[in-house]
Chains A and B, each alone.
Chain A
């Protein structure tokens, strides 16, 4: 059951081969056993989870179950959960029990998914390695000395270690795709506006988007189907008819090859220097496999992609500096014990409550918005953003999906980049342009690097092409077994899931 797909779990629950309570217990026990070494969870609420599971069993018994009813789930701790600690990985919110549920949380509750706990993350989703958490770094299940990626590192590691079969995440500059790649799982970030941001603690409002982690594209699709949907409380939520993102993956494959006619664009800029050799080898092999499935590859160009990193960091830090102003020690959150006056209360509460990277980003964001610098930084970044979005628009005239590496390297050692923020930012090179444009993208496992660490392939689609992306990844996964490889946890054998 531990390694079963969501479809298999669904069948097992519906035929009552296992109850939701038993399933939850199985995973809760795994968390208890393995999480101390991984630190993927900030909060595990066994009692609440078992109560939810019992409810799910009641629903299943009356035949009222949906696709996810009774299946265990973990939420990134960026999502507000009513009555449950919601920290966003920060000391600032280390005492914050949310009085309300995020839209994503409400939807998954309504679907009957059973929440086991809240996963560790980079503080306020700012980071690429999960080392910026107040609750300590998450460890990569493939090698506990390495980072899991960030910022949704806890969710990625939890799914990779099979502490939970599915988990939510958020992706502002790659925070779902990059940890998915580094942990060897599948992760999707949909088109901006598909998943409501209500109750998702904001990092950079115009870039933040909820996403899904699973072992496979099919599992991600099931979770995404339940997470997404219009929410009138989010002005940027898209009011579109509900769609089944797995509809293409369910179709029978054609006789000329499952991906016949698919044009995969390879951005020249993504395949230039900067990519590690082992990542390059795995990526090339994956592309060869795609060709064998009937796809053809074409070279495309994203000439402004190299400017995505500076433009992204200006926009993200500017928005973050403002979004994080509400953490002032007055209505909730950390409040300094000693202060001289109101300003001192602000300064000390914020200095104590925020970690170093969060403070850096607030300071840079404050600076680029301050008087006299707005045009040179923020406005210039917004203009580059348009150029980057237009690059993608042109590229999609020539191809159906864009493929390339998710991360330039496999997982690095904990501590290797913590003293050099710029080196850390550069590891986002392949993922952030997607957020600037607001496009959907996913990462799926496509092999292993030199140290036996997973490599992820990124697939980027045009707006609202989630169904196509998941179909492409699904066809790949039907004919490969990279996604079935599992890490060796303490006391367990490594190997293939089936």
Chain B
């Protein structure tokens, strides 16, 4: 039997660290990279007698997320204690939300694959709840001991739980990417996966199509999209192989080893914890009045889905272009500013430049769009100069490169300065073009003969010579038209 006889079922749990200045239940800093335990205050260390007080900023970020995915933001939610012993968990329990989470339901639309074969899918979310992060165990050897750093303990997390709606690793990655873009878009998480700001757990099972859900195994702590894909692919194949060999899947938590590309069991259900959840008596129910929701809704940025539709409607962009341009808030903002400066009529060439030359150049330089040396005002001026025939598209690329190198200064006027000082203005004077053509015809009689004897290729060679003679500045359309007339073609 082949892999195609199995249906893959994937649900994701994502832990997003929230961008608050202080911790969820204490006034200690959440900044990354401090010396061990210098950002662990009495509350984070669980000294005897200390108590938690909830950070308004963490709640507000949860509200933003709930509104962004069209979820119910619970008017009343409850914090519970999840009890277990671990050295990175100072209280011996994690404060989390269990029965009544702050965000309930919601959906995220993802686009899977690229180009013609790509498709859209709606992924349903079960819930998102607020909780505190744990500290870190450092395993380098201290005479056979581990070292515990509690700086991270108490950092606010939003745990975002999806329904088991994904059917392939590609869908899972597309969902994780869409979620990653969204939390950054609404500025609740910095999305830095290397620093652990955005961590994925994947619940994976396989079944025969139409059969009830299979037994799932949970892959913990995947901190890159590549590992997410690799881990799921390995796990799916392992489960299928196991079942086809007549084995059974036991519910388990597994870890992915990037070095071997394999998953291995961390614990099985039999030794699963009994977390003894109960409402945290140190905290009262979290109430979010309608007025708060309304205020946050009023402060929300335009969301990617809405912006994408607007780009299609207002700018007549293709769905693909609109989706690409709204992949990140920075790119969308860059594009929007470019169009604002260039005018709506030039939206399509603006889109082409942003997705084409700019994206390629950024990629080559390893830069983020927010750090692009060519600003949106400059790009808009460049697009305008091409549209008004001051520049040919090809010379436009030269100007772009000059802008990238900082020629002409940071303002949009740099475009005109470069055109001026480097003499790049396109020649559109028919008389001038005609005289260049006459010279070229005179000097290339052989090509002219070939063309007249039916070799169409020879025409292009002559155009090339004309462009060369004009140092690329002759308007290509005019060159074509005049040459064809003169050659009687």
A binds B: yes
Q: Are B47 and A200 in contact (CB under 8 A)?
A: no
Docked CA distance A235–B55 (Å): 11
Docked CA distance A200–B49 (Å): 5
Which residue on B lies nearest to A208, using beta carbons?
Answer: B281
A235, A326, A369: which contacts B278 (Cβ < 8 A)? Answer: A369
Q: Are A374 and B53 in contact (CB under 8 A)?
A: no
Given contacts A235-B283, A322-B278, A331-B90, contact A346 B85 (CB under 8 A): yes
B48, B85, B277, B284: which contacts A201 (Cβ < 8 A)? Answer: B48
Q: Does A297 contact B (CB under 8 A)?
A: no
Q: Are B53 and A235 in contact (CB under 8 A)?
A: yes
Q: Are A235 and B282 in contact (CB under 8 A)?
A: yes
Q: Does B184 contact A (CB under 8 A)?
A: no
Q: How many residues of chain A have a CB within 8 Å of chain B?
A: 45
Q: Does B93 contact A (CB under 8 A)?
A: yes
Q: Are A325 and B92 in contact (CB under 8 A)?
A: yes
Q: Footprint of B on A, CB under 8 Å?
A: 79-80, 86, 88, 93, 96, 98-100, 102, 197-202, 204-206, 232-236, 318-319, 321-322, 324-328, 330-332, 342-343, 346, 366, 369-371, 374, 378
Q: Does B83 contact A (CB under 8 A)?
A: yes
Q: Are A199 and B284 in contact (CB under 8 A)?
A: no
Q: Are B93 and A330 in contact (CB under 8 A)?
A: no
Q: Are B278 and A378 in contact (CB under 8 A)?
A: yes
Tell me which of A102, A205, A236, A331 has the highest count of chain B C-beta atoms within 10 A of its own C-beta. Answer: A331
Given contacts A325-B85, A325-B91, A369-B276, contact A331 B51 (CB under 8 A): no
Which residue on B lies nearest to A367, using beta carbons?
Answer: B276
- Besides A235-B53, A325-B92, 5 other A-B contacts (C-beta < 8 A): A100-B47, A232-B53, A235-B54, A236-B282, A330-B148
Given contacts A96-B48, A232-B53, contact A370 B276 (CB under 8 A): yes
Q: Are B87 and A93 in contact (CB under 8 A)?
A: no
**Chain B residues with CB under 8 A of A330:** 87, 90, 148
Which residue on A lies nearest to B41, using beta carbons?
Answer: A100
Closest beta carbon of chain A to B354's beta carbon, Å: 48
Q: Are B51 and A197 in contact (CB under 8 A)?
A: yes
Summed over the interface, the residue pairs from A and B with CB atoms below 8 Å come to a total of 97
Tell me which of B52, B277, B281 has the highest count of chain A C-beta atoms within 10 A of its own C-beta. Answer: B281
**Chain A residues with CB under 8 A of B91:** 325-326
Closest beta carbon of chain A to B87's beta carbon, Å: 6
Q: Does B45 contact A (CB under 8 A)?
A: yes
Given contacts A235-B282, A235-B283, A342-B87, contact A322 B48 (CB under 8 A): no
Docked CA distance A206–B51 (Å): 12
A-B contact pairs, 17 of them (CB 8 A): A80-B48, A86-B48, A99-B47, A102-B49, A204-B281, A205-B281, A233-B51, A235-B54, A235-B283, A236-B284, A321-B83, A326-B48, A326-B90, A330-B87, A331-B46, A369-B278, A374-B277
Docked CA distance A204–B280 (Å): 11
Q: Are B278 and A318 in contact (CB under 8 A)?
A: yes
Q: Are A371 and B42 in contact (CB under 8 A)?
A: no
Which residue on B lies nearest to A315, using beta carbons?
Answer: B281
Docked CA distance A310–B376 (Å): 71
Which residue on B lies nearest to A80, using beta carbons?
Answer: B49
Docked CA distance A332–B47 (Å): 8
B267-286 residues at the A interface, CB under 8 angstroms: 274, 276-278, 281-284
Docked CA distance A374–B80 (Å): 13
B28-55: CB near A (< 8 Å → 1, else 0) gives 0000000000000010011111111110
Q: Does B81 contact A (CB under 8 A)?
A: yes
Docked CA distance A235–B279 (Å): 14
**Chain B residues with CB under 8 A of A378:** 278
Which residue on B lies nearest to A326, using beta carbons?
Answer: B46
Q: Are B51 and A234 in contact (CB under 8 A)?
A: yes
Which residue on B lies nearest to A88, using beta carbons?
Answer: B48
B51-66: CB near A (< 8 Å → 1, else 0) gives 1111000000000000
**Chain B residues with CB under 8 A of A232:** 53
Docked CA distance A100–B274 (Å): 34
B83, B87, B277: which contacts A325 (Cβ < 8 A)? Answer: B83
Closest beta carbon of chain B to A80's beta carbon, Å: 5
Which residue on B lies nearest to A332, using beta carbons?
Answer: B47
Q: How many residues of chain B have a CB within 8 Å of chain A?
A: 28
B238-288 residues at the A interface, CB under 8 angstroms: 274, 276-278, 281-284
Which residue on B lies nearest to A96, using beta carbons?
Answer: B48
**Chain A residues with CB under 8 A of B52:** 235
Tell me which of B51, B274, B277, B284 has the highest count of chain A C-beta atoms within 10 A of its own C-beta. Answer: B51
Docked CA distance A141–B351 (Å): 89
Q: Are B48 and A98 in contact (CB under 8 A)?
A: yes
Q: Are A100 and B42 in contact (CB under 8 A)?
A: yes
Q: Are A370 and B90 in contact (CB under 8 A)?
A: no
Docked CA distance A324–B85 (Å): 11
Q: Are B42 and A99 in contact (CB under 8 A)?
A: yes
Q: Are B278 and A206 in contact (CB under 8 A)?
A: no
B127-167: CB near A (< 8 Å → 1, else 0) gives 00000000000000000000010000000000000000000
Closest beta carbon of chain B to A111's beta carbon, Å: 20
Tell me which of A236, A321, A328 has the highest count of chain B C-beta atoms within 10 A of its own C-beta. Answer: A328
Docked CA distance A374–B275 (Å): 11
**Chain B residues with CB under 8 A of A236:** 282, 284
Closest beta carbon of chain A to B466's beta carbon, Å: 79
Closest beta carbon of chain B to A327's beta carbon, Å: 8
A93, A205, A371: which contacts B48 (Cβ < 8 A)? Answer: A93
Docked CA distance A326–B90 (Å): 6
B68-118 residues at the A interface, CB under 8 angstroms: 81, 83, 85, 87, 90-93
**Chain A residues with CB under 8 A of B53:** 232-235
Docked CA distance A318–B276 (Å): 9
Which residue on A lies nearest to B84, using beta carbons?
Answer: A325
Q: Are B81 and A322 in contact (CB under 8 A)?
A: yes
Closest beta carbon of chain A to B22's beta carbon, Å: 13
Q: Closest 6 A-B residue pairs measured CB to CB?
A: A325-B92, A205-B281, A369-B276, A206-B281, A326-B46, A199-B49
Closest beta carbon of chain B to A315's beta carbon, Å: 9
A98, A99, A328, A374: which contacts B85 (Cβ < 8 A)? Answer: A328
Docked CA distance A205–B91 (Å): 14
Which residue on A lies nearest to B150, using beta carbons?
Answer: A331
B157-193: CB near A (< 8 Å → 1, else 0) gives 0000000000000000000000000000000000000
Which residue on B lies nearest to A205, using beta carbons?
Answer: B281
**Chain B residues with CB under 8 A of A93:** 48
**Chain A residues with CB under 8 A of B42:** 99-100
Q: Are A319 and B281 in contact (CB under 8 A)?
A: yes
A98, A326, A332, A369: which contacts B92 (Cβ < 8 A)? Answer: A326
Closest beta carbon of chain B to A212's beta carbon, Å: 19
**Chain A residues with CB under 8 A of B81:** 322
Closest beta carbon of chain A to B55's beta carbon, Å: 12
**Chain A residues with CB under 8 A of B278:** 318, 322, 369, 374, 378
Closest beta carbon of chain B to A358's beta carbon, Å: 14
Closest beta carbon of chain B to A325's beta carbon, Å: 2
**Chain B residues with CB under 8 A of A324:** 92
A199, A205, A331: which contacts B282 (Cβ < 8 A)? Answer: A205
**Chain A residues with CB under 8 A of B87:** 328, 330, 342
Given contacts A319-B281, A326-B92, contact A198 B49 (CB under 8 A): yes
**Chain B residues with CB under 8 A of A98:** 47-49
Closest beta carbon of chain A to B454's beta carbon, Å: 87
**Chain B residues with CB under 8 A of A321:** 83, 276
**Chain A residues with CB under 8 A of B92:** 322, 324-326, 328
Docked CA distance A327–B277 (Å): 19
**Chain B residues with CB under 8 A of A200:** 49
Tell me which of A102, A202, A330 has the highest count of chain B C-beta atoms within 10 A of its own C-beta. Answer: A330
B283-320: CB near A (< 8 Å → 1, else 0) gives 11000000000000000000000000000000000000
**Chain B residues with CB under 8 A of A202:** 48-49, 282
Q: Are B83 and A235 in contact (CB under 8 A)?
A: no
Closest beta carbon of chain A to B50's beta carbon, Å: 7
Docked CA distance A421–B439 (Å): 114
Docked CA distance A98–B49 (Å): 10
Which residue on B lies nearest to A206, using beta carbons?
Answer: B281
